[in-house]
Amino acid sequence: MTMPDQGRDEPAPDQLASAVTQLAAELSALRRDLARRHLLDLASGVLVAQLSLTPSDAADHLTQLAETTGVPEEDLAADILNASGTDREAGRDRDEAADSGADTRRDRHEDQNGDQDRDEARRARRTEAAAETAARTGGTVGEVAETLLDGGLRPLGVRGLWLFRRTETDCLALTGHAGVSRLEAAHWKWVPPFAGSPLHRVLREAAPAWFPAGPPGAERLPGPTPDAARAVLPLRQYGTVTGLALADWPGPRQLDEPVKRALTALAVPAARILDAGADDPAQPGALAALLDLMTHPAMVLCAAPGTGALHIEHLNRPALDSAGHVHGAAGRPLAQVFPAMEPDLVRLERAAREWAAPQRAARLPVVHRAGDPEPLHDVRVLPVGPVRTVVLWHGATDPGMALARVLGRLENLAAFEDDLITGTSRWSEQAYRIFGLDPGTPPVPLRRLAPRLHRDETGRLEDLLAELTERRQGAHTVVRAVREDGGLRHVRIAAEPLLTGGVLTGITGVYQDVSAQHHTEIALTATFDRLTAAQTQAALRHQLVIQLQQAIVPEVPVLQRLPGLQVAARYRPAAEEYRVGGDWYDVLPLPNGRVLIAVGDIAGHGIDSVTGMVSLRNALRGLAFTGHSPARLMAWLNEVTLHTHGRPTATAVCALYDPADRSLRWASAGHLPPLLLRDNRASFLEPPRNILLGAVASADYAEVVTPLAPGDILMLYTDGLVERRYTGLDESLASLRRAAERLGPGGLDERTDRLLTSVTGDTDDDTSLVVVRVS
């Protein structure tokens, strides 16, 4: 029976990323093993020639020698090669070895200087083997140069290594480099054969040149500073100088014999790998140098001709850190370095080149699970040519960009910012729709908005600007904007001044189209105007709401006895003529022995605030009987808020006190932190960072557990207790803390009344205060 073909399952992005990481590690391990095997094979070949052994007997003899002498096989193999003067490939480059004398000089110095020279010779041989192995396994000249630098030259203090190939016209082409920037490499990409060049002098004389304090006079060579030490060595193949190697140091340095000997030895493998391949001469050196100066990750992608497959041409240092699991990321296919993001990056890259416009994504991949590779945040893809694109991103979410996206999701809300120094302005996309302007139109600064408003609204705008520029404090107003199509929109403007060193440098804020709300208010007003005795009914309704509020949150309640706690609660209404608000508190014993302690604040005042407060307070009371944690209760209460009439927003603290272990498990939804008084020292509890109620759906809330001790006093309150018009919140909270520490002895009710008297806000907002003492 033949089963139908179900197709092949595509690997998940996280599986692909794990596979790439594993393959990269395996490749590095294979290269190390190949380099070791190459070194051992060369030493075995020397033993075959010297002792007339078979290859297998020579390998066994080498192993026995290592076991007998206690010297690692690699070191012993390097000693055999150094002592024999045999080149790494049998019979190859005899003329080169004779010209340079590298092996014989290394042998003589090893005999004279003992262990130090022997270690240097061993390191040189291991480096040669690793470099040749990297070249044979597909490594670029740049990767091989990195191997030479890290393995043999960096211990000598060398900063950078330059490998130049000699062309048919005696021009020097930079084939590979390590330890130098892309900008330096781009500057020395080609060196023509002009007179007096130290590089061409070495090429012509076929002898090394040593510059302990940099080149003499006005001569120039690659390097970090004019007086930095350099060494220029000819590279020979079959007795012919085919190129040059240049090593530079960070500064002046005495180039003694051991350094010269090590450099001369490493020139031999450098000559052999010079023709392994060259960097693409079309690589954007200046662009790569620019990306290297950025503090955020950036890389250059290049599309292969014909196939369009993307490979990575360059990564700056932060981007290399993001791709840390892949060795030699530059030059690899995009799918090998960023497998989880590759499909989305390919889509954005194609769109950027097709439309010749930047493409953006908030995060790649969009779905991120625990254990996945770190995502790329705020991704921007910019086309910079027919086959190249630049990809910029952040390692973490940028709060500014995230806020702009949040504003974009809110209906009829737009952000703006005016730079008063440069005279420029920025609008989000929604602002153009609110004012009925083409997105290509330059943004209009707030101070020049009057011509686009109804003539009766200029006074409101002037008052707003006076608050921002003269008093330098935030303000808001509602104006009528006249659109070019003749439409009239009611726009709320909320703005804040931007100060730099005490100087007003800009204005930032939001525009909100409130036309629908305004029309609703007009309709409601017209309806009330047609009702008889509307004023009497409104007064009666207002009185009923006050009675309802007092029944729910009395100013001085009579609290029942609670397990393990003493409780005092106070409610202070707002101004006399406007006594209804959205503050509430609740202290309720639960069937499981715990005690619910809650404080909340509905935004605004009036009947809607009171009705919303009643809904939330009663909902929380009912939900608390489920026995769930404060975090879960907050999540449910958020959904209740979203479905409450008027869509209010609110802050709240929900706590469950367990008298069994005197622990307080609590969660906060954007509310002010509770104050703990212990041994007459007051401190604020650090609240979890949760969003306020009614802001977004399906929000998750975190909670914390605070252990309490006998005699501890905990205070939960609303903002009306501390907020003042001309005082920062931090200063107001500090005043509350100091007042709590000055309360002195006394009963809990007495101390609560003293605190309510000594700490008073001036924003005409109502206040709720709950004070509990652990028995």
Q: What is the 3-state secondary structure (H, E, C) of 443-506?
A: CCCHHHCHHHECHHHHHHHHHHHHHHHCCCCCEEEEEEEECCCCCEEEEEEEEEEEEECCEEEE
Compute the average pLDDT of residues 588-613.
Answer: 87
Tokens of residue 207, six digits? 């002898």
Distinct helix (H) and strand (E) counts, the chain: 23, 26
Indicate if the pLDDT at residue 281 is higher than 60: no
The residues with which 565 forms a beta bridge, in sequence order, are 562, 774
Q: What is the distance, to the nearest Å, from the Cα of residue 180 to the centroid of all Cα atoms in its chain?
A: 27
Mean pLDDT for 735-745 is: 90
Q: What is the mean pLDDT of residues 292-310?
A: 86
Q: How far is CA 675 from CA 662, 685, 734, in A?
A: 17, 6, 11
The rounded distance, in Å, linking the Cα atoms of 464 and 493 is: 9
Above 90 in pLDDT, residue 745?
no
Average pLDDT score over residue span 647-666:
94
pLDDT value for 668: 95
Range of lowest pLDDT (334-338, 396-400, 617-621):
396-400
Strand order from edge to edge, sheet including 310-315: 310-315, 298-303, 388-394, 376-383, 359-364
Of residues 224, 271, 218, 268, the one with CA closest to residue 248? 224
Quick check: 652 pLDDT over 50? yes
Quote the pTM value.
0.35
Both tokens assigned to 630: 């404060």
pLDDT at 100 over 50: no
Residues sharing a CB contact under 8 Å with residue 717, sequence separation 6 or more, in sequence order: 599, 672, 675, 736, 767, 768, 769, 770
Distance CA 509, CA 151 (A): 57
Average pLDDT, integer, range 323-350: 82
pLDDT at 677: 94
Confidence of residue 103 (pLDDT cuts 50, 70, 90): very low
